[in-house]
Structure 1
Amino acid sequence: MTVPNPAHIKTALPGPKAAAMIARDAEVISPSYPRDYPFAMSHGRGTEVWDVDGNRFLDFAAGIAVCATGHAHPRVVEAVKCAADKFLHISSDYWHAQMLGLGERLARVAPMLTLAGEPAMSFLCQSGTEAVEGALKLVRYVTRRPRYIGFLGGFHGRTMGSLSFTSSKYTQQLGFAPTMPGVTHVPYPNPYRPLFAGADQGKAVLDYIRMLFERSVPASEVAAFLVEPIQGEGGYIVPPEGFLAGLRELCDEHGILLIFDEVQSGVGRTGKMFACEHTGVVPDIMTLAKGLGSGLPIGAVVAKKSLMSQWKRGAHGNTYGGNPLACAAANATLDLVSEGLADNAAAMGAHFMARLHELSRDYPCIGELRGRGLMIGMELVEADAERTPARALCDAVVTRAFHNGLLLLSCGTSTVRFMPPLSVSTSEIDEAMVLLRASLDQALAGH
């Protein structure tokens, strides 16, 4: 099939330079990285990226939702250059303006303050998994309780503490048992794939948790719930209305803390600064990373000041937390998101979703479209009455999209996820739709 707009693909993929790079990489880099297709990047601007052979692609994966402001946004690049001219590192034992500025920005936009009027504090680190580890340590420290509750389908990282919660694919835990003890998993409510027949899925999950409290998990020993307000790796699942509010009520009833993992959904991704703002539900603690630094490695634990201020000197720390370059990138990112990129994500997300609904009328294999802002999932299903996940088709669509010049990733069992930079334009979305339609046709035809 001829693709109407091949997005400037000039060579067979991978091209000769990319193939040579991949061969060299195989000799020296861990094979554990889950690379889906042979893209070897040269450079990028905004939503566009080029491989080492000069092929141009639209990036609707954005480094797994990391490049919030697009590739090499000039304000972010300039902020990093200015910071680099001064100094590259001073340990978190000391003070500097970029770290302080980021703490002040996070305190101003934290949902604890904006939704509930309660001051917030931050602990800075290098990644999402480290932010989750910090949150787990904080709740253990302030509650002195030994248990936690996580959700099936959740992804929270791959270090041992966060890995004990991660359950989006068994391969992430395979070979690493035992992980941290004390974690109980419960279902994440998914209206499209209900586990509880004939019931409000959110209420049913809350009732299930209450049953656990009565029979096997003493609520008085539970330190915290760790939950994604929109589940990411598990399938871009938006929980039913009222679920997060019900979870908040359950926490308040039993003195349990509520941690929102906004590593993927935060920093404008859903059209608001944080996904929890769509529901008005306030977490006690929130974890951030990915889009916070527009590509530089940074994470943050943001917590109510009443909680984080209980940490004593030396209770938690790191060497690289508050790195000046990463903080400079984060400060520029938060400014850009506040000044218009979150609004653009809301507007472009609505346009993108409308175009996807048009597409779904022609493709019965599109079982459900869901998401908020520019965090959108397209679940693919087999041609049966059971909504059987179309795993092979999902993989084929992602692969064909790469060959057509569109970078995508999957999530869940058979969901194609769309997470372009928050700066994406209408014309780029429309171009991506042409490539997506061609990729669906090719995948369905078995090409």
Structure 2
Amino acid sequence: MLSLPTNRPSPHIPRLVTTLPGPRARSIIERDRNVTSPSYTRGYPLVAAKGEGCTIEDVDGNIFLDMTAGIAVTSTGHSHPEVVKAIQNQAANLLHMSGTDFYYEPMVELAEKLAARSPFPLPLNGAQAKVFFTNSGAESNEGAIKLARYYTGRAGIVAFLGAFHGRTYGAMSLTGSKIVQRQRFGPLLPGITHIPYGTHAGLDYLEEKLFSTVLPPQEVAAMIVEPIQGEGGYIVPEDGFLARIRDICDRYGILMIVDEVQSGMGRTGRLFAIEHWNVMPDIITLAKGIASGLPLGAILARPEIMTWTPGSHATTFGGNPVACAAANVTLQLLEASLIDNAKDMGELLVAGLTQLAAKYDCVSLPRGKGLMVAIDLLDSSGNLDSTLRDRLVDGAFYKGLLLLGCGKAAIRFCPPLVIDSVQIQVALQILSDLLAEIL
């Protein structure tokens, strides 16, 4: 068990004061078991009570180093004081008024900022992008499907195996990550075709086989792609893959939708991950890190595409004034220093994980960009080992480190973007010690 020689918690180092899970945590977990849906995918028994920066304190006073950020959500760290202040000030003035029917400045301000920073072609006049606000990534992707079909008058959508775009019906129909996410929920949205992700061979299959046999390209409204696959394993595509999607879309009049729900908002060392490849999409979907933990998402589209008429798409809670206030401050903090910190700390993390891979044969070389990084766990024959991955994720919790899996046997590292070099080194040391114990 980790502990410190002083009673005062360190801002960097986990501190465990009870056997895990502690008594209060056990009580809450038992209560939860009686009343909540069994569809939730809880792993280790963390019952969170407080968060600050890159640390989480549970209900029994144990302090954990968080490399999950609530699944890549708390981009500015847990309870960043400037974000909290913005939330408190806005909540004291206006909690809700529905941007579908009325106007309020925080929503306009955020739309202006996102439009100005969108990686779309510069306009001759007017805005660089139009913005529709949602509550979540799934809702953003649902809206993107509707917008693509509305604008093009076509029905078909090309998505990728391994993709995760959400669990509502349209988003679930795009998702190709795990069978449990689709099983027994059919029929799903028609017109969706999945192809292999990240390789030119997959795009060859689309153009040479599907487009000439069963999928007329003139009937495809959009291709939706994650610049780096998230739930699918933090997979970085081959060089030229995203640029080639752009080329295919241009040749056939297909819209390119880029799902930046997990990769966007500075996580990869750029505001949008697609910027690493200098590719201009037609539509971008956002959520997760946009508001530092408040429920908010967005659809960004080139102005000539977002032309749907009043009433054709709307939302009650999307663009809530409190969430927008949090997002405005989040964007300021990201651009002031946190995007650069994601790049620098990501390089440090990759270097440390590379050393870990050299020390342990069961650890693959790391992949990713910025603070969107993953390793695979391997068995003695070099095959993916999900059992070892799960042992490491669970074991790390009992040493004070919060991790998440993804893909078939990967551990993803998606900490708050405020993480510092000491915390990176602590996480690497805990993981190294745990590997030594298990092996």
Q: Deviations over 1:310-334 (max 9, x none)?
A: 1101010011121011001111111
Corresponding residue of 1:126: 135
Corresponding residue of 1:54: 61
Corresponding residue of 1:184: 193
Question: What stretches of structure 1 move > 3 A for 4+ residues in a row?
Answer: 2-6, 113-118
- The residue type equivalent to 1:260 in the other structure is V
C-alpha contact (below 8 Å) 1:3/1:435 kept by paired residues? no
Which of 365, 369, 375 is the aligned partner of 2:366? 369
Structure 2 CA distance for aligned equivalents of residues 224 and 284 of structure 1: 9
> What's the offset of the Cα at 1:367?
2.1
Q: Do residues 394 (structure 1) and 401 (structure 2) align?
A: no
1:21-36 → structure 2 map (5 Å cutoff): 21-36=28-43
Number of paired residues? 428
Q: Do residues 172 (structure 1) and 181 (structure 2) align?
A: yes
Corresponding residue of 2:437: 442
C-alpha contact (below 8 Å) 1:230/1:265 kept by paired residues? yes
Corresponding residue of 2:289: 291
Q: Deviations over 1:272-295 (max 9, x none)?
A: 001000000111000000000100
- The residue type equivalent to 2:217 in the other structure is A
Secondary structure, counterpart of 2:284 in structure 1: strand
Q: Deviations over 1:165-186 (max 9, x none)?
A: 1111100001101110110100
Structure 1 CA distance for aligned equivalents of residues 280 and 120 of structure 2: 6
> What's the offset of the Cα at 1:4?
9.0
Structure 2 CA distance for aligned equivalents of residues 269 and 113 of structure 1: 23
Corresponding residue of 1:280: 278
Corresponding residue of 2:266: 268
Structure 2 CA distance for aligned equivalents of residues 63 and 178 of structure 1: 31
Gaps of at least 5 residues in structure 1 are: 190-201
Structure 1 CA distance for aligned equivalents of residues 98 and 169 of structure 2: 25
Corresponding residue of 2:23: 16
- The residue type equivalent to 2:42 in the other structure is R
TM-score normalised per structure 2 = 0.95
* Distance 1:257-1:13 versus aligned 2 partners, 3 A rule: same
- The residue type equivalent to 1:150 in the other structure is A
Corresponding residue of 1:106: 114
1:129-208 → structure 2 map (5 Å cutoff): 129-189=138-198, 202-208=199-205
* Distance 1:116-1:64 versus aligned 2 partners, 3 A rule: farther
Structure 1 CA distance for aligned equivalents of residues 3 and 247 of structure 2: 52
> What's the offset of the Cα at 1:8?
1.1
Corresponding residue of 2:49: 42
Corresponding residue of 1:194: none
Structure 1 CA distance for aligned equivalents of residues 66 and 351 of structure 2: 20
C-alpha contact (below 8 Å) 1:115/1:282 kept by paired residues? no
Which of 416, 419, 426 is the aligned partner of 1:424? 419
Structure 2 CA distance for aligned equivalents of residues 115 and 361 of structure 1: 49
> What's the offset of the Cα at 1:349?
0.3
Structure 2 CA distance for aligned equivalents of residues 217 and 145 of structure 1: 12
- The residue type equivalent to 1:99 in the other structure is M
Corresponding residue of 1:226: 224
Structure 2 CA distance for aligned equivalents of residues 116 and 18 of structure 1: 58
- The residue type equivalent to 1:406 in the other structure is L
Structure 2 CA distance for aligned equivalents of residues 398 and 330 of structure 1: 31
Corresponding residue of 1:235: 233
> What's the offset of the Cα at 1:219?
0.3
C-alpha contact (below 8 Å) 1:262/1:274 kept by paired residues? yes
TM-score normalised per structure 1 = 0.94
Secondary structure, counterpart of 2:174 in structure 1: coil
Structure 2 CA distance for aligned equivalents of residues 68 and 114 of structure 1: 28
Cα RMSD for the two superposed structures: 1.5
Which of 87, 105, 108 is the aligned partner of 2:94? 87
Secondary structure, counterpart of 1:318 in structure 2: coil
Corresponding residue of 2:310: 313
Secondary structure, counterpart of 1:226 in structure 2: strand
Corresponding residue of 2:9: none
Secondary structure, counterpart of 1:224 in structure 2: strand
Corresponding residue of 1:197: none
Corresponding residue of 2:408: 413
Secondary structure, counterpart of 1:376 in structure 2: strand
Structure 2 CA distance for aligned equivalents of residues 116 and 438 of structure 1: 57
Corresponding residue of 1:195: none
C-alpha contact (below 8 Å) 1:341/1:422 kept by paired residues? yes
> What's the offset of the Cα at 1:233?
0.3
- The residue type equivalent to 1:441 in the other structure is A
C-alpha contact (below 8 Å) 1:233/1:412 kept by paired residues? yes
Q: Do residues 345 (structure 1) and 342 (structure 2) align?
A: yes
Secondary structure, counterpart of 2:120 in structure 1: helix
* Distance 1:114-1:442 versus aligned 2 partners, 3 A rule: farther
Structure 2 CA distance for aligned equivalents of residues 389 and 208 of structure 1: 26
Structure 1 CA distance for aligned equivalents of residues 325 and 271 of structure 2: 18
Structure 1 CA distance for aligned equivalents of residues 143 and 336 of structure 2: 30
Report percent identity of matched pairs.
49
Structure 1 CA distance for aligned equivalents of residues 201 and 33 of structure 2: 47
C-alpha contact (below 8 Å) 2:393/2:404 kept by paired residues? yes
Gaps of at least 5 residues in structure 2 are: 5-12
Structure 2 CA distance for aligned equivalents of residues 343 and 157 of structure 1: 29
> What's the offset of the Cα at 1:360?
1.2
Secondary structure, counterpart of 1:366 in structure 2: coil
- The residue type equivalent to 2:429 in the other structure is V
C-alpha contact (below 8 Å) 1:400/1:442 kept by paired residues? no
Corresponding residue of 1:214: 212
- The residue type equivalent to 1:420 in the other structure is P
